[in-house]
Amino acid sequence: MRNNSAILLAAGGGSRMRGSVKDKTLAPLLGRPVLYHSAKAFLDSGEVSELVFVCRDDAQIAQIKDALSDILKQIPHKFAYGGAERQDSVLNGLLATSPESKNVFIHDSARPLVGAQNIKNLAAALQEDECAVLASKVVDTIKKLDSDPQNLRNREMLDLERPLLWAMQTPQAFRREIILNCYKKVAQNGEKITDDVAAASKQGHKITIVENIYPNPKITVPEDLAIVEFLKSKGAI
């Protein structure tokens, strides 16, 4: 097992689940919580030496300890508290990782189909490069509005070159010191970012894309749970 850390983000409120579940990361998926499947992928990969769970509160931490007890017996683990935004939660998770860790994998726990092989592929990329992201080619035609995203009537649309477009997923993986320093800069500058690649890119770091040919959807709305359960039951990873 390599000297790497995995940060599993589980502190999100899940407001778009429309009250169908209290906690989407602990919602049942084939008899196990969603978070269980994400954590198990990292354990099975053999690429990480510790798991860091970023959680909302002590009550959620207690639930995770109970629901993932068999995994937690097999690997060192820590818990950190989430922040107001995803970027705050990531920084808290990074600060909790072991200083001895060489690399860090940052993963949205609501992507339970990630699979151990994808993690191995990212780890292989980090043997040569400093930053890597799991991503898929965009298959839809994407249009960009020229301004004012709230107005959807009678708009001019800009064409984007589809072969150049990639949909970012997680895990996103980095040298620990690089991404920790990048997130510290984001916090110091009061910047707003939506993913970890953006934090690294803002500091001039280049990113290696690791193509994912498997479904890796993020559970966002209630219907996603049924879709992900179907895919996982069919071995779609």
pLDDT in tens, 204-215: 999 999 999 899
Residue type, 56: R
Q: For residues 133 and 169, give the distance between their C-alpha atoms in angstroms, rounded to a whole number.
A: 7
Q: Compute CA distances 216 → 45, 72, 97, 232, whole Å.
A: 16, 24, 25, 10
Residues 6+ apart with CB under 8 A from 223: none
The pLDDT tens digits of the residues spanning 159-180 come to: 999 999 999 999 999 999 999 9
The third-level CATH classification (topology) of the domain covering 4-233 is Spore Coat Polysaccharide Biosynthesis Protein SpsA; Chain A (3.90.550)
Please report, for the chain, the start and end positions of each structural domain, with discontinuous segments joined by +. Answer: 4-233
pLDDT of residue 123: 98
The pLDDT tens digits of the residues spanning 1-57 come to: 589 999 999 997 655 444 445 689 999 999 999 999 999 999 999 999 999 999 999
pTM reported for the whole predicted model: 0.94
The terminus-to-terminus CA distance of the chain in angstroms comes to: 22
Q: b/e map of 207-234 (b: 16 or more CB within 10 Å)?
A: beebebeebbeebeebebbeebbebbee
